[in-house]
C-alpha cells in the first residue's frame, strides 16, 4: 500500500526530526539520500524508520539498498509513500527518494587519542552546517583521528550538516564537548599541542610539525575563535594567501591543514 497522507505516524516522526527539538526529544536523526543511508547501514547504524517512494524502486542501487536494509535490520519495515508525500517530508527540494530515522553515532574523547600521534580537528563556533559537514567529510578522507565539536557550533545532526558529511559521520569519531576549558585541560594532560588558524598568525602552516599530537581549532566564520582558545594556543597558524583573496572559507582552511598533515605523515621527502 502506498501512503498518501502527511498524517501517517512514520511520516510525522521523520518530519519532526528536521528540527532540533524533535531530534532531542526522539533521540533520532534524519538521514536523506542514498549515499548517506548506505554509509549508515554499512557502519551498522541502527535504523528506526525507512521511507521511500515508488520511483526509488526504479533505481537498481535503490533496490539493492532496501534489500540490504531488510537483510541486516529485518525489524525495520520500509514505508512506501507517494512521490508528493516524500517531497513534503524531505528537507531538500529534489529528494532522491529515500529517508531514514536513525540512532546517532556516539564517540568519546578517548577514541581520538588512541593513535600514537593524533591530529584532531576542533570545530569551535562554526555556524554553517555545510561547512561543518564538509570538515567532517574531509577529516574522514584525510584519516585524521577525529573531530571535536564545541559549544556555539551548529548542531552536527542538522539535516544539512548530515548530508554534507556524505556519511562520514558514521565512520569517523565526532565528539560533542560543551566545556572548552575541560577540553583544553584534557589535551594538556596528554601533551597534545594546541593550534589555531589566524590571518595574523606567526607560524606558516607548512612549517609546523603536524606529525606530533596536535589539535587544531577552527572558529566562527564571522567572528573567529574565542579569546580563551586563542590564549591557550601553542601555535597561531597562518595559511599563506598568495593572491588577492582576503581569507579562505573555514572548510577549505581546515582541508589545507588536514592534508598538510597527510603530506607530512605519508609523503614527506
1 found inside a domain: no
**Average pLDDT value for residue range 62-87:** 96
Name the nearest CA neighbour of 214 among 177, 257, 252.
257
165 and 259 housed in the same domain: yes
User: What pLDDT digit, counting tens, does each position of 196-236 carry?
Assistant: 998 888 899 999 999 999 999 999 988 889 999 999 999 99
Domain boundary at 85, 102, 119, which?
Answer: 102
Is residue 112 within 8 A of residue 120, CB to CB? The reply is yes
Count of structural domains, the chain = 2
150 and 208 housed in the same domain: yes
Q: What is the CATH number of the domain that holds 113?
A: 3.40.1280.10
Alpha-carbon distance of 208 to 108, in angstroms, equals 27
Name the nearest CA neighbour of 99 among 111, 85, 116, 112.
85
User: What pLDDT digit, counting tens, does each position of 34-58 carry?
Assistant: 999 999 999 999 999 999 998 999 9
User: Containing domain of residue 72, as a range?
Assistant: 9-102
16 and 142 housed in the same domain: no
152 found inside a domain: yes
Alpha-carbon distance of 170 to 124, in angstroms, equals 21
**Average pLDDT value for residue range 98-104:** 98
Q: What is the pTM of this model?
A: 0.94
What is the bridge-based pairing of β-strands 98-102 and 79-81?
unpaired
Alpha-carbon distance of 166 to 214, in angstroms, equals 26
Amino acid at each position: 500500500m502506498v501512503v498518501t497522507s502527511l498524517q501517517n505516524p512514520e511520516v510525522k516522526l521523520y518530519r519532526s526530526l528536521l528540527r532540533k527539538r524533535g531530534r532531542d526529544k526522539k533521540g533520532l536523526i534524519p538521514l536523506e539520500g542514498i549515499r548517506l543511508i548506505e554509509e549508515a547501514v554499512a557502519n551498522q547504524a541502527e535504523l528506526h524508520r525507512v521511507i521511500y517512494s515508488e520511483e526509488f524502486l526504479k533505481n537498481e542501487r535503490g533496490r539493492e539498498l532496501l534489500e540490504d536494509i531488510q537483510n541486516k535490520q529485518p525489524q525495520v519495515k520500509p514505508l512506501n509513500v507517494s512521490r508528493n508525500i516524500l517531497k513534503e517530508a524531505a528537507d531538500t527540494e529534489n529528494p532522491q527518494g529515500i529517508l531514514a530515522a536513525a540512532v546517532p553515532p556516539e564517540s568519546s574523547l578517548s577514541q581520538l587519542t588512541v593513535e600514537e600521534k593524533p591530529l584532531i580537528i576542533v570545530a569551535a563556533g562554526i555556524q554553517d552546517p555545510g561547512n561543518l559537514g564538509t570538515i567532517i567529510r574531509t577529516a574522514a578522507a584525510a584519516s585524521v583521528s577525529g573531530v571535536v565539536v564545541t559549544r556555539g557550533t551548529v548542531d552536527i545532526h542538522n539535516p544539512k550538516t548530515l548530508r554534507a558529511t556524505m556519511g562520514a559521520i558514521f565512520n569517523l569519531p565526532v565528539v560533542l564537548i560543551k566545556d572548552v576549558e575541560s577540553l583544553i585541560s584534557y589535551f594538556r594532560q596528554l601533551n597534545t599541542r594546541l593550534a589555531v588558524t589566524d590571518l595574523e598568525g606567526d607560524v606558516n602552516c607548512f612549517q609546523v610539525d603536524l606529525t606530533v599530537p596536535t589539535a587544531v581549532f577552527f572558529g566562527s566564520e564571522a567572528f573567529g575563535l574565542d579569546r580563551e582558545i586563542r590564549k591557550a594556543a601553542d601555535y597561531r597558524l597562518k595559511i599563506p594567501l598568495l593572491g588577492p583573496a582576503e581569507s579562505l572559507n573555514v572548510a577549505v582552511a581546515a582541508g589545507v591543514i588536514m592534508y598538510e598533515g597527510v603530506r607530512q605523515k605519508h609523503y614527506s621527502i
